[in-house]
Structure 1
Amino acid sequence: MSRYALAIEYDGRGFSGWQIQPQMKTVQGALEDAVSRMAGHPVRVHAAGRTDAGVHASRQVAHFDTDVHRPLTAWVRGVNSFLPPGVAVLWARAVPDSFHSRFVAHARHYRYLLLNHPVRPALMAGRVGWIHQSLDLGAFDAAAQRLLGTHDFSSFRAAECQAKTPVKTLTRLSLSRQGDLLMVDFSADAFLHHMVRNIMGALLHVAKGNEAPEWIDTLLAARERAVAPPTFMPDGLYLAGVSYPAEYGLDTEPGERHGLI
């Protein structure tokens, strides 16, 4: 039996998230069907993390086991020939049995793309978030810095989150801008369900002048989702990369593709 790792990109529109659900179109379901057809037998695909409906990925990582031998190009071009539009395998690598896309990852990276413009997007609709109000980006950044480090992120955790602990270490939360497009980059050892979108909702609440940056400390201390602003839209959220120990030799760090991601 051989184990292979895949890097995948996908447009989350039209999918009910990553995880297989009965009678629903999911990224995992599409990928398992394509890999199974290429392998000639049923294959279960395991991912580094789940993404919700409408959330995209520029570098999701997954792995599968098979006793069928194919060249690596077949696990890329062959599988892609069976995948629907909006999902593509970027590369395939043979990995040892000790590799697990979820359990040996030591960091995940997300990027949120936000259009700050008076008029809603058309060409980028569904691929960027949108906010029309004027934003205080200095306040946004000051609030963001208060979230760095190890915290109990219960106030930014969805009620249905299944993580064993709400304590996570956020190592990066940075803001950059290209014209009207804001790019917010997140890195952490792991993320809770809706954590990035809930953080975005809180930071934008501050940037709109509703609270001072120090209010973030109050949210962290409360450890209660009900005290924080609503979850922000999924449209601009991308799983941008997953970090693994160097011994696996995988190119899974966030990379620029197609201009935005």
Structure 2
Amino acid sequence: MAFSPSALLALPFSPARLRSYLLRLPLFTRAVLLIIVALWAMELQTVWNIVKWGALIPDEMNLGTMYRLNTYPVIHSGFFHVLLNILALTPLLERFETEHGTLTAVALFVGPLSTFPGGIYTLIEKFILHMNTAVVGASVWVFLLLASEAIRTFRANPYLQLGPIKIPTWTSPLIASFVVAVLVSHTSFLGHICAIFIGYLLGLGYLKVFVPPEKVIRWIEGKLNLLGRLPHYVSVDQKKHGRYGLLPTTSTEPAVAMSNYIGSSQRLGP
């Protein structure tokens, strides 16, 4: 039987649709994916141990190694680890940047959305559990964004109905983290829980104090002409759902499919 291009386009996940989706990815999302892939490629050489350099290792945290709070989400251990996390992170990060703008995404992910989960994990691991388990992986962002989405979904649809059982929708990231911990080896359950906690704070609006004022963002964008100079840049006036922290609480959007966004954080060590 002859194969036709129209048959390919009819597939649920056609290459044409995938290419179209990738071409529409906003700037910060593209940059994060590029950094993740580039760092993974650098791991193939044996001169410099990228994972050891950038992993979040509690006992090695000091003023000179605070950079680890920003490097651990973009470093991965192995091809499948990086692949799963890219597949999980891309739609969530793309949606966040499209809704809130590129500069806001940069400010939050370089700042509190990386450092807060990592800092909490380090404190608990080192001073409460007295352990030194290193972690890497973008699933810290996956579960953080999933938790934020769960809060927004909870406002519109408080429960998931499974027969006679009603499950609060805000608990879905916690259930997902437990399932991942059971099914996927070498994952950091504690790391995922720290990310979910920060994601809940994000969804509830408690982190909006860290969001740059819209007036400042608009001034920077105009002064540097970012929209004209940077392809795929999302300006403050292009956002789809308004200012972060003032999102509608009665959204009718369907819940985000859990199976599309579950990744893993790689644990290094016992």
Q: TM-score, normalised by structure 1?
A: 0.23
Choose between structure 1 and 2: higher strand proportion: 1
Q: TM-score, normalised by structure 2?
A: 0.22
Asked which structure has the greater RCO (Cα within 8 Å, sep 6+), the reply is: 2
Choose between structure 1 and 2: higher helix proportion: 2
